[in-house]
Amino acid sequence: MHKLLLNRDIYTEFMHEQVPLARRFLWIITADIKDLHVDVNGRFAPFLELLANLVSDGVAVRLIHAKEPGPRFREDFDNYPELINSELFERVLCPRVHTKAIIIDGHLAFVGSANLTGAGLGAKSDDKRNFEAGFMFDDRKDIQELMNWVDTLYLGEHCITCKRREYCPDPIIERSENT
């Protein structure tokens, strides 16, 4: 399956229908993070509540982003001790990340233009949301290649030679003294 999703369909067909079905892991890569609400058990709630529920159910969540989240997201984050205290929730900041992708259990992925924001991936009305496009796909080879690439980001393999170190508030790994 390889399906183009536009605008609100990204929310309805991927964020609402697929993300809550994660059973092993959910990887999210985004440049920007802001307040984002989704349907959680029939009511709109912060996306962080969905993530906390997944972590409580034993799903490992990995979040890679380029800058500090918006203020409302940061305020909401403190309401979810499951995310603060669990080893199943991992967060990495890399200012060079501009990718927008979500991988569910290594079986389904979305790659597109939308950041992890209400206007990009959330349940905003059609008249308030961004114009976004992306592809949902289940091709194992492409997903594996994407996962391998995400692992290089997560593990900080690019940190050693990164020429943007001065902009990085929290390097994933430190350069060796000989570099």
What is the Cα–Cα distance from 55 to 49, expressed in whole angstroms?
10
Residue 175 has pLDDT above 80, yes or no: no
The answer on pLDDT for 178 being more than 90 is: no
- At residue 179, the pLDDT reads 43
What's the whole-number mean pLDDT along residues 103-128?
A: 94
What's the pLDDT at 162? 87
CA distance 13 to 117: 16
Indicate the CATH number of 2-167 among 2.60.40.10, 3.20.20.70, 3.40.50.360, 3.30.870.10.
3.30.870.10
* Per-residue pLDDT tens over the stretch 127-141: 999 999 999 999 999
Angle at 74 between CA 132 and CA 46, to 5 degrees: 55
How far from 3 is each of 29, 111, 169, CA to CA, in Å? Answer: 20, 11, 37
Q: From residue 121, how far is each of 27, 34, 76, 91, 154 by CA, in Å?
A: 15, 10, 17, 19, 22
pTM comes to 0.93
Q: Give the model confidence (pLDDT) of 61-89 as tens digits.
A: 999 999 899 899 999 999 999 999 999 99
**pLDDT over 90 for what percent of the chain?**
80
Q: Which two tokens stand for residue 174?
A: 């430190």
**Domain edges within the chain:** 2-167
